[in-house]
Amino acid sequence: MDKTQIERLQQKALLIRRDLTEMLFRSASGHWGGSLGLADVFTVLFFGGILRYNAKKPEAKDRDRFILSNGHIAPLYYTVLEHAGFFGDKKPALRKIGSPLQGHPSHTHLAVVETSTGPLGQGVGVAVGKAIALKMQGSSARVFCITSDGEHEEGSTWEAVASAGKYRLDNLIYILDRNHVQISGTTEDVGNLGNIGARYRDLGWEVLEVNGHDIGKLLRLFDSFKYKSRKPRIVIARTIMGKGVKQIENDYHYHGKAPSEKEYLMAMAELK
């Protein structure tokens, strides 16, 4: 890791924020805030040499499995897939009937999506199942699962977490978007998450915490995943919903809102 690599990834993250904003503006619907918030994490995973994938062989057996459990931030996922070459020369549209880019990731519409998500608490469970299956096959592939704090207000999420701890799934990595907001307010106002890290630790996980916008730190941390742990790992990434567009940062009203024309122009002027 050197300064040039970090700068290259910072530029990439900026471009991804611009492109997803454009995608949302054109479709006039979709989830903007959370997509902006996880752009740095996704950039490091996909373009920092962390995730093992091959856009030319998306179904290669030894690929790492990537699951976006908080499926609503699909615009970020699709933009990253496009940058990684999964769509070739095609530019599919977001949220159109029959389009591969459904409002939430759909395996039926887009094969690279490992499992359809949208109902909170579902992808995290499938990730545990896939990690168990890969172990049974003797595979060296890992499962990376993106999850959110709102998703931790679902009971089923904690069943998945407990199972992963019990089975010591050292091939499973969760990355938590800890932005403290969800659809209808702050996570503290809506529910009660307690000490998330302590809860995970108690259930047999290794808990790591990082500033979710510091590309250098993310790169260093994610790079350490090439070394085996004896436990499943969770990275609590402290993030800001709407990161990069000051006027919407931390405002939960932008959870599921696409930019208006005025907001789009403002964002494009800012994301430079």
Ligand X SMILES: Cc1ncc(C[n+]2csc(CCOP(=O)(O)OP(=O)(O)O)c2C)c(N)n1
- Interface residues toward ligand X, by CB under 6 A: 33-34, 70, 72-73, 118-121, 148-151, 154, 177, 179, 181-183, 241, 255
Examine residue 70 and tell whether it contacts Mg ion (CB under 5 A): no
Q: Rounded to the nearest whole angstrom, what is the least distance from the CB of residue 128 to ligand X in the complex?
A: 17
Size of the site for Mg ion (CB under 5 A): 6
Determine the interface stretch with Mg ion among 55-63, 148-156, 194-202, 217-225 (rule: CB under 5 A).
148-156
CA distance 209 to 204: 16
Pair 147, 174: CB distance under 8 Å: yes
The enclosing H or E element of 258 equals none
Beta-carbon count within 10 A of 203 CB = 17
Pair 13, 239: CB distance under 8 Å: no
Contact partner at residue 19 from ligand X, Mg ion, none, CB < 5 to 8 Å by partner kind:
none
Question: For Mg ion, which residue of 21, 179, 254, 259 counts as binding (CB under 5 A)?
Answer: 179
Contact partner at residue 125 from ligand X, Mg ion, none, CB < 5 to 8 Å by partner kind:
none
Q: Is 78 helix (H, G, I), strand (E, B) or coil?
A: helix
Q: Rounded to the nearest whole angstrom, what is the least distance from the CB of residue 10 to ligand X in the complex?
A: 22
Contact partner at residue 72 from ligand X, Mg ion, none, CB < 5 to 8 Å by partner kind:
ligand X
CA distance 128 to 272: 39
What are the C-alpha distances in Å from 102 to residues 45, 89, 133, 184, 271?
22, 19, 27, 23, 26
Pair 212, 177: CB distance under 8 Å: yes
Question: Which amino acid, one-letter code, is at 221?
Answer: L
CA distance 140 to 137: 9
Question: For Mg ion, which residue of 148, 163, 171, 239 counts as binding (CB under 5 A)?
Answer: 148
Question: Which residue lies nearest ligand X, judged by its C-beta?
Answer: 150
Contact partner at residue 100 from ligand X, Mg ion, none, CB < 5 to 8 Å by partner kind:
none
Contact partner at residue 40 from ligand X, Mg ion, none, CB < 5 to 8 Å by partner kind:
none
Examine residue 150 and tell whether it contacts Mg ion (CB under 5 A): yes
Q: Rounded to the nearest whole angstrom, what is the least distance from the CB of residue 245 to ligand X in the complex?
A: 14
Terminal Cα distance for the chain, rounded: 24
Residues in contact with Mg ion by the rule CB under 5 A: 148-150, 179, 181-182
